[in-house]
């Protein structure tokens, strides 16, 4: 059907991440103004979802809830994008602070389905944390995007759905994060294996970290998937040419999506596609997320 989600490409932008250093990457959006400006440019270029990590006054990653809530409000005021907060944070963040991200009342959140080596670090998401976070998303009606860094995490996603039922919004959407040193490689053979293992009816995006960006993007488009791009995932636009800004990554993804005859999905269509409810007014502060043992 022309114009339906079936023949459109959902583009998520991940503009900041928790790893890159502003002093080394001046184009990285780290202030609220920079983030909202980037978000507007990326929406105009074809993005429908923004995956958000924020920074503190010194540009270091933070999960401070009031700052996250201000960010959600500013992105809602300035754009139509679906606001997906990261619950992955930085490798140093505690489980309790990652659960408390939902207190900022985003539309959606990331939910990583297992622990993975992450370069020289470990990005920890044990089963006890995964199920706690998943149940919290259900209670709070925050739509999760299942982040899959490895094939074993797909098995955990099956276990999660079998034990706790469908997600808020009723639809399972995954993001294959490929090419992390320690996770699944960013190549088409692995992409094909991961997609084949997903739960029936699930939809998926893919992103390739660093030099795997282009192979994963072409593979995902060829296999009928959706795309995530942004400076969280790559800082090079081409060999030897740093990314000038997130919008050019979205523009390139949108152009390729148009070439394969699946143009970018607008934010309103993406809301229906992902089962994200209509925007809620900002509510009075809620209590802290249920306590768990610190990381």
By a kind-dependent CB cut-off of 5 to 8 A, residue 97 interacts, out of ligand KMH, Zn ion, none, with none
Under rule CB under 6 A, residue 123 binds ligand KMH: yes
User: Does residue 86 interact with Zn ion by CB under 5 A?
Assistant: yes
The residue to which tokens 């306590």 are assigned: 291
Q: How far is the CB of 180 from ligand KMH (least distance, A)?
A: 9
Query: x/- binding map, residues 45-84, to ligand KMH, per CB under 6 A?
Result: ----------------------------------------
Backbone angles phi, psi at 50, to 5 degrees: -120, 125
User: Please, which residue, 118 or 218, has the CB nearer to ligand KMH?
Assistant: 118
CB contact at 8 A, 61 and 89: yes
Instruction: Tell me if 90 contacts ligand KMH by CB under 6 A.
Output: yes
What secondary structure does DSSP assign to 3-35, as a single string? TSGGG-B-EEE----SS--TTT-TTS--SHHHH
- Minimum distance from residue 184 beta carbon to ligand KMH (Å): 14
Q: Rank residues 8 and 156 by Cβ distance to ligand KMH and give the closer one.
A: 156
Nearest to 11 by CA among 51, 38, 63: 51
Q: Beta strand 49-52 with 61-62: parallel, antiparallel or unpaired?
A: unpaired
Instruction: Work out the number of other CB atoms within 10 angstroms of the CB of residue 189.
Output: 9
Among 41, 103, 107, 147, binds ligand KMH (CB under 6 A): 147
The nearer residue to Zn ion, 86 or 213, going by C-beta atoms, is 86
For residue 94, the minimal CB distance to Zn ion (Å) is: 17
Contact between 146 and ligand KMH by CB under 6 A: the answer reads no
Question: Which among ligand KMH, Zn ion, none contacts residue 87 (Cβ within 5 to 8 A by kind)?
Answer: ligand KMH
Q: How far is CA 61 from CA 34, 119, 228, in A?
A: 15, 18, 21
Sign, Cα dihedral of 25, 177, 254, 141: negative
Number of residues that bind Zn ion (CB under 5 A): 1
Strands 54-55 and 61-62: antiparallel
129 binds ligand KMH (CB under 6 A): no
Least distance CB 51 / ligand KMH (angstroms): 6
> Could you write out the DSSP letters of every residue in 239-254?
TTEE---HHHHHHHHH
Q: Measure CA 51 to chain center.
A: 4
User: In the complex with ligand KMH, which residue's Cβ is closer, 16 or 190?
Assistant: 16
Please give the residue ranges that form the binding site for ligand KMH (CB under 6 A): 17-18, 86-88, 90-91, 110, 112, 118, 123, 147
């Amino acid at each position: 059907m022309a114009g339906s989600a079936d023949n459109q490409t959902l583009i998520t932008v991940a503009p900041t991440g928790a790893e890159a250093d502003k002093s080394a990457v001046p184009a990285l959006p780290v202030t609220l103004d920079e983030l909202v400006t980037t978000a507007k440019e990326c929406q105009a270029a074809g993005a429908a979802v923004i995956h958000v990590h924020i920074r503190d006054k010194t540009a270091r990653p933070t999960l401070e809830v009031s700052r996250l809530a201000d960010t959600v409000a500013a992105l809602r005021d300035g754009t139509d994008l679906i606001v997906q907060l990261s619950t992955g944070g930085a490798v140093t963040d505690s489980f309790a602070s990652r659960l408390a991200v939902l207190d900022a009342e985003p539309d959606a959140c990331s939910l990583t389905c297992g622990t993975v080596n992450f370069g020289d670090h470990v990005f920890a998401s044990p089963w006890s944390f995964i199920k706690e976070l998943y149940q919290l998303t259900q209670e709070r009606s925050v739509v999760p995007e299942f982040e899959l860094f490895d094939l074993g995490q797909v098995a955990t996603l099956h276990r999660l759905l079998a034990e706790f039922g469908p997600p808020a919004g009723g639809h399972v959407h995954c993001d294959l994060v490929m090419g992390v040193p320690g996770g699944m490689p960013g190549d088409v053979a692995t992409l094909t294996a991961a997609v084949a293992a997903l739960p029936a009816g699930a939809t998926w995006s893919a992103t390739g970290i660093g030099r795997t960006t282009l192979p994963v993007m072409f593979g995902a488009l060829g296999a009928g998937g959706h795309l995530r791009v942004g400076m969280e995932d790559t800082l090079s636009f081409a060999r030897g040419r740093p990314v000038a800004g997130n919008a050019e990554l979205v523009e390139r993804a949108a152009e390729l999506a148009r070439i394969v005859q699946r143009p970018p999905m607008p934010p309103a269509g993406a809301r229906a596609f992902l089962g994200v409810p209509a925007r809620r007014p900002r509510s009075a502060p809620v209590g802290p997320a249920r306590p768990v043992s610190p990381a």
